[in-house]
Structure 1
Amino acid sequence: MSSNKKKIHYAWWVLLGLTIMVGFAKGGIMTAGGLFLTPVTEDLGIGMGSLSLYFGISSITTMIFLPIAGKMIAKYNIRLILVVSIILEAGSFAMFGFMNSVWGWYLFAVPMAIGSTFVTQIAGPVLINNWFKKHNGLAIGIMVASGGAFGAILQPMAGNLIASEGWRSTYMILGGIVMVVVIPVVLLTLRMSPKQKGLQPYGVGEVEKTDKISTQTTTNRGVTAAVAKKSGAFYGLLIFFFFITSISAFGQHVAPFAMELGYDIRFAGNAMGGWQIGVLIGALTFGILSDKIGAKNTAIFAMLLGLVPIGILIFMPENPMMFKIAIAIYGFVVASLGTLGPLLTTAIFGNKEYSQIYASAVIGLAIAGVVALPGYGYIFELTGSYTWALYAIAGMLIMNAVAIVLAFKGKKRLEKAGLWN
């Protein structure tokens, strides 16, 4: 009996698998892309806006594929989907190392985005929602923090590799490492639902005692996807995803921004390591805060805090220490995308048809990628500076705080109409 009490619930093994998968896929591939922009543009003679356009193509692919991914992940074997997705994402990233024309980035951006849709966006929130009924916010925070933890190691490593081995070899090395590490982890740890292991979700008994409602009611309260998509709350959430993704997208331009100021690629890699440490701390902080003060208050706090690093980057970017501090705080703030996005979705719409609603809402993420990622590159091409981009980001932070308030007002209207049950 005591041994049963001490046994680790399998939900934590699922979370471990997710942290490794997301940590390597985000920290080693998705957020590392910006480190390659300046070396590639200088070596191949490509414009910054033209090369960063591949991020936009990736986002368009994600936008188109998200609704399909939401249905596929509920229908097919999760491990098979994720293994194929990792090969698509990491394999495409490695293939960039063989390219001599910008069209190569445009071509491989498509399979990379399809793989990333499952690996870094859909699978984690869906699995955590299935496995955790207690400490859901903490679990989301830990998963998102993994991107920062692994990125804090992989980003400086990538910067040093680019400086010593060249950008081509670094693309191949990072892509290969992700496939070799992540595929076995997925096969060994991840399962779609507790039923596959003959278990209940973690903490479900305690939820029953606290809320005095049945497990079925606990796990299925909320609104339907059809109702959600017609509500003002949904558009508020969509705006949140659009702006926070646009804000986060600047991370891909931190390295070119640093190098435009006169810093070298190693400094840029170390600065991005600071960004990832910020993501690590922010993800854990936001997960814990959301459990304590709610997702709404935590999200508003994050948006207002974001004005601090923007101010530093506008007015004192030439100071190396202040630059690194600003980038670390910026990383802290953008951790709210991965942590608070899923939690806000649950807080506003419940669990009834969570995966469909979340997959629809994060289309705002994909649209932002289409606009913001290449947009920052073209701003630099046209003005020779990222200053106007930083002013735009300050505006988006303020507008996002307003969008959060409006989304929760929309939830109240759904409740009053009797549609939230």
Structure 2
Amino acid sequence: MTTPNRWLPVVGGVMMNMALGMFYGMSIFMLPLEKEFGWTRAQTSWVTTIGLALIAAWYVVAGYIQDRRGPRPVAVVGGLLFSLGFFLASFTGSLPMFYLTAGVIAGTGSGFGYVVPTSVGSKWFPDKRGLVIGMMVGGYGAGSGVFGPIASALIERVGWRSTFQILSLVFLAMTMTGAYLLQNPPAGYRPEGWDPSRARAAARGGADVAASEMVRTPTFWALWIAYCLGTTAGTMVISQLVPFARAAGHSAAVAAFALTVGAIGSASGRVLSGWISDHVGRLNTLRVMLLVSACAMPLLFALRENLALFYALLALVYYCYGTQLSVYASTSADFYGTKNVGFNYGLLLLAWGVAAIFGPFLGGRVFVATGEYRVAFLVAAGISRFFHRLFQPDKRGRADRPAFLLVRSWLRRRANLDQQRVRRLHGHVDDNAIADFHIVETRGLPGSLEGRFVGQRERFGRLCRRLHGDRLSRDLRDDAADMYVVTVRKGERSGEDGRDREGNQSLHGCSLC
């Protein structure tokens, strides 16, 4: 059987996401709707909030379904719902109707469709994962930049109702074509010349981890919090873009074109930073982008009256925001594998959903409280700078420490709980040995944090031998996907994966404890 051209799913993913990305351009319809129905900006803006929240929520559900049923059914449902939402929005006669069609139905369709390209691309391109995922999610960021001006021109000529209908037909054709091209690679597929062992070692991960296991790791929650607050800084600025531009003295045309500049910047960040992260590392890329963002946000406020600098700095801020949406998706696949990447990244993407709600709310509240945008931009810059500090190399110069100072206290607490569990199960044990007993879940953690606990391995092994005697089997794995090397098996070991006959596999070191 001939393997399909692996670039065809990329084409399909970009087509799918460019159509779905028009949700970011929904503001194009706000002014004509407000003019016809007398609605306020606060009322019409709720459709974006509703839609973004549903995109993140349905991404989780769609990811779960896709991991079990394949990409095409999910992509078809997403494309149909998104197109239907736009078509029904043309019959809007009340605010609840607008929320239901453009917000709930279109947002649900976008959530279903958005999950597929990321998952499919990560499976076809383990060797170029950052670049390909960046291209696919870049299509989502570019959608509003491409179709926003088209929608604006159509509204002027045929009205907003006909524009919704025309776009719905265009999006239906694009999403159905994209769904047809999106398919998973054959089982056991590997690109020519790709060495999975070297790739896993570089990524510090690669094993397929179920969501139930993933959410029990401190790494996941550290990533989740970092993703949430990092994108909160971006959404604070992005949500206030048009009124900020007008307050800076720019015309309505300049403010409208700023949306296109932002879309170009976001799409560029998703593609270029994805490619860069393939070569310099995910966390290194995020570290640089967070620092650039922390510098660009206050500069954007300070130099807002200069049109050229306004556009340049705006594109830079959007570039950094788009970087996070691309690189975190690749990081999820690196750390937790591609088998369950749809559901796993969906859980991580909920952080962005929270940021999409909290960021605009925080930016608006700060503006109301202060009467200007200076404080809002400084707060956003401060958030970016804070997370840049967390991504700094450790004192030994290791550059791949996760950004997560909070993980260390979490691991200490986990070690204390595990020590109590050993005492409860085994009675009196030498306190000196107990003090060295750290069951640390290091799946997917970059090497520097894992290295802090490498000295515990031999002492942990000695303690397990004392507790379990001959039942201990030692698994010295070089695979970075399962870095905690001392394990105890309940049954006879069979197979290279180290599982026993009952399918049990230790995640935290000692399965007998």
**TM-score (norm: length of structure 1):** 0.82
Instruction: Identify the residue that residue 147 of structure 1 maps to in structure 2.
Output: 140
Deviates more, 1:404-413 or 1:318-327: 404-413
SS at match of 1:191: coil
Structure 2 partner of 1:16: 11
Compared CA separation, residues 130 and 39, structure 1 to 2 (3 A): same
Indicate the residue corresponding to 1:405 in structure 2.
403
Corresponding residue for residue 206 of structure 1: 194
Instruction: Judge conservation of contact 2:62–2:343 (CA < 8 Å) in 1.
Output: no
Select the structure with the greater relative contact order (CA < 8 A; seq sep ≥ 6): 1
SS of the equivalent of 1:194 reads: coil
User: Larger radius of gyration, structure 1 or 2?
Assistant: 2
Distance 1:283 1:54 in 2: 25
Are 2:182 and 1:194 equivalent residues in the alignment?
no
- Cα distance in 1 for residues equivalent to 2:370 and 2:158: 32
Q: Deviations over 1:274-297 (max 9, x none)?
A: 222222322232122111110001
Distance 1:212 1:31, change over 3 A: closer
Structure number having the greater helix percentage: 1
Structure-to-structure mapping, 1:201-240, within 5 angstroms: 201-203=189-191, 205-208=193-196, 221=207, 223-240=209-226
1:364 corresponds to 2:328: no
State the 1:63 CA deviation.
Answer: 4.7
1:26-58 superposed Cα distances (whole Å, 9 cap, x missing partner): 1xx122123444554455433333332233322
Aligned twin of 1:246: 232
What corresponds to 1:281 in structure 2?
A: 268
**Contact map agreement 1:54 1:105 (CA 8 A) in 2:** yes
Question: Which residue of the partner structure matches residue 376 of structure 2?
Answer: 389
Deviation at 1:383, TM superposition (A): 6.1
The alpha carbon displacement at 1:163 in A equals 5.3
Q: Which amino acid aligns with 2:9?
A: V
Equivalent in the alignment of 2:498: none
Shift of 1:372: 2.6
Q: Is residue 78 of structure 2 the alignment partner of residue 91 of structure 1?
A: no
Letter of the 1:207 counterpart: D
The letter for the 2-side match of 1:20 is: M
Task: Select which of 320, 337, 346 maps to 2:333.
Answer: 346
Distance 2:160 2:374 in 1: 27
Consecutive unaligned residues in structure 1, runs of 5 or more? none
1:14 Cα deviation from its structure 2 partner: 0.7
- Residues 279 and 14 of structure 1: CA distance in aligned 2, closer, same or farther (over 3 Å): same
1:208-236 deviation digits (Å, cap 9, x = unpaired): 585699xxxx9962544333212221111
C-alpha RMSD of the superposition: 3.4
In the alignment, which residue of structure 1 is the partner of 2:168?
Answer: 175
2:66 equivalent to 1:73: yes
TM-aligned CA distance change 1:352 to 1:69, over 3 Å: closer
Alpha-carbon shift at residue 405 of structure 1 (Å): 1.2
Change (3 A) 1:70 1:173: same
Q: Which runs of 5+ in 2 are unaligned?
A: 392-401, 409-441, 451-481, 487-506
Does the aligned pair in 2 maintain the 1:97–1:172 contact within 8 Å?
Answer: yes
Residues 81 and 106 of structure 2 are in contact (CA less than 8 Å); yes or no, is this contact kept in structure 1?
Answer: yes
- Pairs within 5 Å for 1:238-317: 238-249=224-235, 250-317=237-304
Q: For residues 210 and 240 of structure 1, do their structure 2 counterparts lie closer, same or farther at Cα, with a shift above 3 Å needed?
A: closer
Deviations 1:156-194 (A, max 9, x none): 33344455555444444433322233323322x111333
Contact map agreement 1:73 1:81 (CA 8 A) in 2? yes
Mapped partners of 2:238, 2:384: distance in 1: 15
Q: Distance in 2 between matches of 1:172 and 1:14?
A: 27
Q: CA–CA distance in 2 between the matches of 1:400 and 1:323? A: 25
Residues 67 and 341 in structure 2, CA contact (< 8 A), matched pair in contact too: no
Residues 333, 224 of structure 1: alpha-carbon distance in 2 compared, 3 angstrom cutoff? same
Q: Distance in 2 between matches of 1:385 and 1:104?
A: 34
CA distance in 2, matches of 1:168, 1:378: 33
Q: Quick check: 2:133–2:326 contact (8 Å CA) kept in 1?
A: yes
**Contact 1:24–1:178 at 8 Å: present in 2 too?**
yes
* 2:319 alignment counterpart: 332
Length-normalised TM-score, structure 2? 0.69
| Alpha-carbon distance between aligned partners in 1 of 2:156 and 2:372, rounded to the nearest angstrom | 24
Q: What residue in structure 2 maps to residue 116 of structure 1? A: 110
Helix, strand or coil for the counterpart of 1:133?
A: coil
Distance 1:383 1:39, change over 3 A: farther
Q: How far did residue 333 of structure 1 move?
A: 1.1
- 2: CA distance between counterparts of 1:93 and 1:387? 36
